[in-house]
Amino acid sequence: MRYTVDITDAGQRLDQFVTRRIKTASRGQVREAIDSGQITINGQPMKPSHKLRDGDVLEYPEIGARVEEQTPEHVDLNIIFQDEHFAAINKPSGMVTHPAKGHWDGTLTAALIAKFSQLSDIGGASRPGIVHRLDRDTSGVLVIAKNNQAHEALSQQFADRSTEKEYFALVANCPDRDRDVINQPIGPHPRYRERMSIVRDDPEAKEAQTFYEVTERFDGFSAFKVFPKTGRTHQIRVHLAHIKHPVLCDRAYGNQARMTLGEIARTDDEQIILARTALHARRLKINHPVTGEPLEFEAPIPEDLHSTLEILRKYRSV
């Protein structure tokens, strides 16, 4: 796999950066790979303590991943658009984008292998075609590359922030402002490896910017349009939780994993109406990776989120 270091990664130790990037690998496995020369910077082996620089080209193998178990799985994918270079997919909630620790089966990549005869291989054997990702519970628009030329062109658009992303979110509480921007650096959580957090005065933190707009207000809840300008791990979820408006049913950054009808209707009804993070990648604007033509893809709000929205309108209108 290959990754080009950007300015926000510069200054970090090689071993620490790779350990965070490869979720399937332990720190010991990463250090062993560095010491044996399997991990290189600009084609040269380096020490684990090497400090990354802007523009460095990092190359590393699959470490700790059970690549041999990445087998095709025939799934009815919702394809928004495709040509010979790339495709836009409406990823369902509950599907992991690529194999990771604890999630080896039922991945989007397994479905892609079964669906398409050709996919880019820049991301390695466990991430064929994957240019960017959505969290497991997050549904919506995701683009995949069918060849390396398209992969590199699309990756560059995400890296230079020329893409436009819009998300739909149902959140707790109502903000004072109808729209605002959140500028808070994001880095690894100090205690929980699988989580991220707002961190300051930490060289591992990366700048992160999220715009949001309130589209509907309810008693105790809100519907947001969210526009992330950077693409940090869990960015929207971390930022909204930071301003006391966690995404509903976010088990990592909120206070519950599911919501019942009774919680909204203020009754004893225990019917579960939502059991996943209420976040949906609704719209994505990119330029075609080969022709440069401006393109926009949209994924309608899925039924579970739309139903929850209607219940809020019925019982919590203000």
Structural domains in the chain, sorted by start: 2-59 (3.10.290.10), 67-159 (3.30.2350.10), 164-315 (3.30.2350.10)
Q: Tens digit of pLDDT for each residue in 68-99?
A: 456 788 889 999 999 999 999 999 999 999 77
Mean pLDDT of 244-252: 97
List all residues 6 or more positions away from 45 whose beta carbon is below 8 Å from its beta carbon: 34, 37, 39
Given a contact cutoff of 8 angstroms between Cβ atoms, the answer to whether 269 and 261 are in contact is yes
Of 149 and 36, the one with more pLDDT: 149
> Where do runs of H (alpha helix) occur along the chain?
14-21, 27-35, 108-115, 148-159, 235-242, 261-265, 303-315
Burial category of 182 from C-beta neighbours within 10 Å (exposed 0-12, middle 13-18, buried 19 and up): buried
* Half-sphere exposure of residue 81: CA atoms within 13 angstroms, side-chain side: 16
pTM of the model: 0.80
Find, among 167, 172, 95, the residue nearest to 137 by Cα.
95
**Positive or negative torsion for Cα 171, 239, 228, 95:** negative
Given a contact cutoff of 8 angstroms between Cβ atoms, the answer to whether 210 and 236 are in contact is yes
Structure confidence at residue 65 (pLDDT)? 52
Mean pLDDT of 89-110: 83
Active-site residues, by number, are 135
Q: Residue 280 phi/psi, 5° resolution?
A: -140, 125
Residue 270 is encoded by which pair of tokens? 């225990």
Give the Cα separation of 278 and 305 in Å (integer).
7
Distance of CA 73 to the CA centre of its chain: 22
Structure confidence at residue 185 (pLDDT)? 95
With both helix axes pointing from N to C terminus, report the angle between 14-21 and 27-35 in degrees, rounded to the nearest 10. Answer: 130
Q: What is the mean pLDDT of the chain?
A: 91
Given a cut of 50, is residue 181 above it in pLDDT?
A: yes
Structure confidence at residue 67 (pLDDT)? 46
Say what percent of the chain tops pLDDT 90. 67
